[in-house]
Structure 1
Amino acid sequence: MRLFSQFHHKCMLVAGQGPVEENAQDLGFKHVVTIEALRKAYPLLDMVDQNRVPTPLPWFPSISSNLPGVILFGEPVRWETSLQLITDVLLSNGNPDSELQDIPYPHLPVLACNMDLLWMAEAKMPSRIGHGTFLLCLENIYKKVTGRELKYEALIGKPSTVTYRYAAYLIQEQAEKQGWKAPIRRLYAVGDNPMSDVYGANLYNNYLKSAHQNQVQAGVKRSLQTAMESCESILVCTGVYRHNADVPSKTKECTMESVFHGHRDFCFDPSLVEASHIVQDVNDAVQLAFKKENWS
């Protein structure tokens, strides 16, 4: 999000839960409007829950300027309100107080984080719907209303390659602070979701292989920053992915899925959900990495 400085000085609508306004400001966005603030400014927009409609309707000052874009941090608490107001902003070209004229297309820029369809919580069922499900709802509502595809200015987070590149950058930065001289050549990506954690790690591994091959062919000498050669994916069985029996030895048979849970804008490649290793938990994953790196 820090890379998208062209939006940092614009008044952006932000959706999610928790301190979304503070989070946006930490990332460089100077002026943002939350879903709740937009709802208070335009109380007639949110009419799903009749118990929340104020009677008589109070007067609130309008948002001072049009909203030029939308930031989606994560799943909101009240989906119906967020889905309604985000759709209103997109259809009205950032001015939900105006009468609907021609629907603009391309629509306003939408930046979205966190594409996981499902995630694991304390419940025994490993199918807590995440922000990926919210995005799916928003995409389908927009297409049903307009007949056109909702498009993203950026999709950030797993399994996007840029997320793993950023992780590699942070790891290299830590290594330099520790004074390590030897370049880091391998990453180990540990996760519980084949469709996001493993998929993204394998996607990044393919990127590293391609970059390494291109440098070899070009005869380019590799620096510490470009010495990364591979990223191995390690799938743990304590989250979204569960395996009740012994840890399997054949990863391909256990990670192949007939239904792709990844985001709409990522093509399904069965080989990308095949983890390099499957272990029981994070501790086993760390021990595996130690063993492969010959660390006692």
Structure 2
Amino acid sequence: AKRGAESQSAWRRNRIYWRNFLNRTMSKPLSGDEHPVKEDEAADLSEADDAFEEAEVGPVEHKIEFGLLFDIDGVIALGLNPLPQAVEMMKLLVSPETGLPVVPYAFVTNGCAKGDSKARMMSKWFNATISPEQCIHSQSPLAVFTKWHNKRVLFVGQGPILEIAADLGFTKVFTIDDVKEAYPLLDMVDHKNRAAVAKGYKENPDFPRIECIVSIGEPDRWESYLQVLIDLLVTDGKPDIPPEKYPDTHLPILACNLDLVFKAEAPMPRLAHGSFLLCLEALYEKVTGNQLHYTHLLGKPSEITYRFAEHTVTKMAMSMPNCGPIKRFYFIGDNPEVDIKGANLFNQYLRRYRKLSGSLSDPPTHDEIKALRHKIAISKSRMIPEDAEFVRHSAKLFISILVGTGVYNPNAKSLYGPHVYHGHRDIQRDDELTKPHFFFEDCLEAVRFILDKEKVAHN
């Protein structure tokens, strides 16, 4: 009873703190019981309240019905070092006897490293068994984009991109260097290449036509990449044949990681993959007079990434004997514009799914799923792929939790005025979506609170 009273008190303190916090930091003031969200979001908050308060508080033996999702940098680590709070937090989530999870969880980052290398590093951090499947990167959902796996795909990024592409299921992968070698005349912004071409060159007319572009991260030579990518876009993937006029359509583009900037050791934010995409969009439109269109956008805050994360943790829960169907997800992040916005967007996606899926067969047919995904999608570039196979939704609520150990600092002044928007042009600006359901100082405090409210015993 004492613990239950303490937990209820913590719940109320958090709501009071969060209301005051919003008054200080957000544009729309709060008073009394007001919450600056739309009617549907208010319903979600009420649902969250009900989920926490529907039963007597206190640890009991029962099936786990929730999943946890964490951003990495700024939530559980800074750079290559884990946060002390995260080390303590993981002790609550992992059995000391087996090193295996006691609740289903995964990590969702906009980085583009190989999942197995990240998993090994994090396993050492926390002295726990973390699988590559639990480390979801911005490109990870491409594993279910089977439509493109046997296409001739140009991969853009740095690091072991050929290995990453193979791990995701792509079988015919090319790089910018492959294209430049086949067509030496393309890259004239490289003055060394100009000098080499002046001495003689040879094209490869048999080089295959590129059928799709996949950009998983910013490259190292933006000027060369931008030139060659535009060449491929306006020639339908065969840049040795100039077009008679610039086409109205272009090659499919799948872009991962929409972050404009990121926080590193430098005192100012650093340009990220979203900045490279912005350059490509601006140059393509300036050159052709047409807007660049994305076939798919992946990475936070795109709904596709959160659907993949839901799928991953739900599958994990199915293999855990102490878990039942997942009814609630908690996403813990440090960036309101990315982590929180994405979680809230996916919460809206789940609401639309519940509203529109009532008449489906049990189990639903492929055609029913395909039609439903078209109805639910806000934009074509953020639609769940028709051919993607996921476990069925069981969650009804995606709860967003902001922590103060990374990008967001409630006591710091923002560098940007209210008119500045760093989000991608295909994701609507809505300041309400950047407001989390709850705020905690760090991930340890957040997880303790969640475990208390979900009645999971812990130290």
What's the TM-score once normalised by structure 1's chain length? 0.86
- Following TM superposition, by how much is the alpha carbon of 1:80 offset from its aligned partner in structure 2, in angstroms? 0.9
Q: 1:221 to 1:153 in 2, by over 3 A?
A: closer
SS of the residue corresponding to residue 231 of structure 1 reads strand
- For 2:328, the equivalent position in structure 1 comes to 186
d(CA) in 2 for partners of 1:63, 1:284: 60
- Following TM superposition, by how much is the alpha carbon of 1:58 offset from its aligned partner in structure 2, in angstroms? 4.0
- For 2:202, the equivalent position in structure 1 comes to 59
> Which residue identity does 2:165 align to in structure 1?
A
Q: Does 1:288 align with 2:288?
A: no
- For 2:309, the equivalent position in structure 1 comes to 167
- Following TM superposition, by how much is the alpha carbon of 1:294 offset from its aligned partner in structure 2, in angstroms? 3.2
- Following TM superposition, by how much is the alpha carbon of 1:238 offset from its aligned partner in structure 2, in angstroms? 3.0
Q: 1:99 to 1:264 in 2, by over 3 A?
A: same
d(CA) in 2 for partners of 1:135, 1:81: 14
Residues 132-157 of structure 1: CA deviation (Å, up to 9, x unaligned)? 11111111111111111101111122
- For 1:251, the equivalent position in structure 2 comes to none
What's the TM-score once normalised by structure 2's chain length? 0.57
Identity %, equivalent residues = 42
Moved over 4 A (4+): 217-222
Match for residue 398 of structure 2 among 212, 218, 231: 231
Superposed CA RMSD in Å reads 2.8
- For 1:252, the equivalent position in structure 2 comes to none
Tell me which structure has the larger Cα radius of gyration.
2
- For 1:18, the equivalent position in structure 2 comes to 159
Question: Which stretch has the larger CA shift, 79-88 or 19-28?
Answer: 19-28
Match for residue 111 of structure 1 among 254, 266, 271: 254
- For 1:248, the equivalent position in structure 2 comes to none
Contact 1:118–1:240 under 8 Å retained in 2: no
- Following TM superposition, by how much is the alpha carbon of 1:290 offset from its aligned partner in structure 2, in angstroms? 2.2
Contact 1:10–1:31 under 8 Å retained in 2: yes
- For 1:211, the equivalent position in structure 2 comes to 353
- Following TM superposition, by how much is the alpha carbon of 1:231 offset from its aligned partner in structure 2, in angstroms? 1.0
Q: 1:63 to 1:38 in 2, by over 3 A?
A: farther
d(CA) in 1 for partners of 2:451, 2:362: 28
- Following TM superposition, by how much is the alpha carbon of 1:221 offset from its aligned partner in structure 2, in angstroms? 9.3
Contact 2:216–2:257 under 8 Å retained in 1: yes
Q: Does 1:29 align with 2:190?
A: no
d(CA) in 2 for partners of 1:68, 1:260: 33
SS of the residue corresponding to residue 264 of structure 1 reads coil
Unaligned runs of 5+ in 1: 246-255
Match for residue 154 of structure 1 among 296, 312, 315: 296
Match for residue 431 of structure 2 among 270, 285, 292: 270
Relative contact order, higher structure (CA 8 A, sep 6+): 2
Residues 104-155 of structure 1: CA deviation (Å, up to 9, x unaligned)? 2211111111111122222333x22211111111111111111111011111
d(CA) in 1 for partners of 2:254, 2:356: 31
d(CA) in 2 for partners of 1:259, 1:62: 46
d(CA) in 2 for partners of 1:65, 1:183: 47
- Following TM superposition, by how much is the alpha carbon of 1:181 offset from its aligned partner in structure 2, in angstroms? 4.2
d(CA) in 2 for partners of 1:46, 1:235: 44
Q: 1:155 to 1:173 in 2, by over 3 A?
A: same
- Following TM superposition, by how much is the alpha carbon of 1:94 offset from its aligned partner in structure 2, in angstroms? 0.9
Match for residue 78 of structure 1 among 214, 221, 242: 221
> Which residue identity does 1:185 align to in structure 2?
K
Contact 1:119–1:239 under 8 Å retained in 2: no
Q: 1:98 to 1:226 in 2, by over 3 A?
A: closer
d(CA) in 1 for partners of 2:227, 2:314: 43
Q: Does 1:259 align with 2:259?
A: no
Contact 1:195–1:260 under 8 Å retained in 2: no
> Which residue identity does 2:161 align to in structure 1?
V
- Following TM superposition, by how much is the alpha carbon of 1:232 offset from its aligned partner in structure 2, in angstroms? 1.2
Residues 154-207 of structure 1: CA deviation (Å, up to 9, x unaligned)? 112211112111111111111111113422211111222211211110011122
SS of the residue corresponding to residue 344 of structure 2 reads helix
> Which residue identity does 2:350 align to in structure 1?
L
User: Would you say how many aligned residue pairs link Structure 1 and Structure 2?
Assistant: 285
Unaligned runs of 5+ in 2: 1-141, 364-390
Q: 1:108 to 1:219 in 2, by over 3 A?
A: closer
- Following TM superposition, by how much is the alpha carbon of 1:286 offset from its aligned partner in structure 2, in angstroms? 2.5
> Which residue identity does 1:44 align to in structure 2?
L
> Which residue identity does 2:225 align to in structure 1?
S
Q: Does 1:240 align with 2:407?
A: yes
Match for residue 96 of structure 1 among 229, 232, 239: 239
Question: Which stretch has the larger CA shift, 286-295 or 9-18?
Answer: 286-295
Q: 1:36 to 1:241 in 2, by over 3 A?
A: farther
